[in-house]
Amino acid sequence: MKPICPGNPLDRYASRREFLHVGLVGGLGLTLPQFLRQQAKADQKFYETREGVAKGIIHIFLPGGLAHQESFDPKPFAPAEYRGPFGAIDTKIPGVQFGEKLAELAGLADKMTIIRSMSHGEAAHERGTHNMFTGYRPSPALEYPSYGSVISHELGPKNNLPPYVCVPNVPNEFAGSGYLSSAFGPFALGSDPANGNFQVRDLNLPGGCDEFRFNRRRSLLETVDAHFRGLEKSDAIDAMDSFYQHAYKLISSETAREAFNLKAEPDAIKDEYGRNDAGQRMLLARRLVEAGTRFVSLTVGGWDHHDNIKGNIEGQLPKVDKAIAALIRDLERRGMLDSTLVMVTTEFGRTPKINTTGGRDHWPNVFSVMMAGGGFKQGYVHGSSDALGGGVDTDGITVEDLSTTIYNQIGITADKELMAPGGRPIEIVDGGHVLDVLLAKKA
């Protein structure tokens, strides 16, 4: 007789086939929903999470849809109405050019993997963003968890730091825990690191509260929680308990609190990153990953340039270029680049032709993303768009494959099934494959 679930005492009474008889289910004291949940667990695909090449991930998301033509995939030989307002510059990769406003990253291209053949077919901001934060197309039937929440669920906290942090705030509704418990949601700073008076909310003890009073309040809270937990069992109570535990550890750990302390950084480092939103957010992300946070999600700017793409790119892209370049250099200096994955994404690209208001419109048919560190190849360009930047020409990559590869690098097998409400096992990513072509060969 094949066990339904190893270690389950019900296994000695009935086979899987016999369990289909509702009368037997009732006779064993199980309701039908309880039985179905038990069966789903028995059928659930499971893989142990392992130690990955990447110990931390910094996801830099540029909301609105960064134009690939003005950044990682310029078209210098296309007609002017397709080429756009900027020129192209050589990079450290022979024969490869970036848009001229990525001058600093062009000098570090030999540290990166550039993918020029991403596509997903979703032209709406919300749907494109959902894809790039979860690895799934949106569904009206289920709310999927974000990368950060899955990583929090699978790997948990390290060094008393939240495993998933959003800088400066939760960027959108798709960056949350989805069908997973809200205990795996992101920790949001509530303040911008670029502000002169930057302070993470709720990180310090309230005024007049010393350590003795702090611990006494904790004991009282645990007593109250235990009472209510006996009356009601719910995700909200469990999640709140988890939040409290993490909060107490964060507040009581000097090492954890210090990870958020940008004042500890030398002025020269702050200047290298740039004393602006892009620079200081990325600097804080480095401090958090260095201290033990597993996934940092940060956003910079707005890139929905339907009008005046020239002025908008000139106003925003140089500081982002400087900040990402500083992050890569800083990680390498500290010996962290190989173990930290920096990924720069956006929800889609922009139309190949400049429109009548000097901008580009939504275009999910092809766009670019950048990866650095975390076991990805260095100095590598994957795939290509066509001559006008309007579609994938060679070696197209899906969101599912990219997501599976990202999870692989941090040690998660992406076709593992997690349990959704109603006892439904759902794959972390549905149908993706690890893209070995993007990864550095193991020594």
Position 176, amino acid: G
Residue 169 tokens, joined:
């705030």
8 A C-beta contact, residue 286 and residue 262: no
8 A C-beta contact, residue 91 and residue 109: yes
User: Could you give the percent of the chain with pLDDT greater than 70?
Assistant: 78
pLDDT at 252: 63
Residue (of 193, 223, 383) closest to 299 by Cα position: 193
Answer whether residue 382 shows pLDDT above 80.
yes
DSSP 13-60: T--HHHHT-HHHHHHTT--HHHHHHHHHHHH---------S-SEEEEE
Mean pLDDT value across residues 5-19: 45
Answer whether residue 31 shows pLDDT above 70.
no
pLDDT at 4: 41
Mean pLDDT value across residues 401-420: 97
- Per-residue pLDDT tens digits for 336-363: 999 999 999 999 999 999 999 999 999 9
Mean pLDDT over each residue of the chain, to the nearest integer: 86
- Per-residue pLDDT tens digits for 110-141: 999 999 999 999 999 999 999 999 999 999 99
d(CA 217, CA 213): 6
DSSP conformation class of 205: P
Phi, psi of 104 (to 5 degrees): -75, -40
8 A C-beta contact, residue 134 and residue 178: yes
Mean pLDDT value across residues 22-26: 48
**Within 10 A of 198 (CB to CB), how many other CB atoms are there?**
17
Answer whether residue 7 shows pLDDT above 50.
no
| Burial of 421: CB neighbours in 10 Å, binned 0-12, 13-18, 19+ | exposed
d(CA 14, CA 28): 10
User: Could you give the percent of the chain with pLDDT greater than 90?
Assistant: 72
Q: Which residues contact 401 (CB under 8 A, 6 or more apart)?
A: 432, 433, 434, 435
What band does 41 get if pLDDT is binned at 50, 70 and 90?
A: low
Prior bond of 168 cis (ω within 30°): yes
Answer whether residue 221 shows pLDDT above 80.
no
| CA dihedral of 198, 373, 443, 49, whole degrees rounded to 10 | 70
- Sort strands 164-167 and 295-299 into parallel, antiparallel or unpaired: parallel
Cα–Cα separations (whole angstroms), residue 205 to 161, 209, 252, 257: 17, 6, 9, 11
Answer whether residue 27 shows pLDDT above 90.
no
Return the exposure string of 369-399: e unless at least 16 CB atoms fall within 10 Å of the residue's CB, then b: bbbbbbbbebbbbbbbbeebbbebeeebbbb
Give the number of residues written for the chain.
Answer: 443
pLDDT at 51: 87
User: What pTM was computed for the model?
Assistant: 0.83
Position 283, amino acid: L
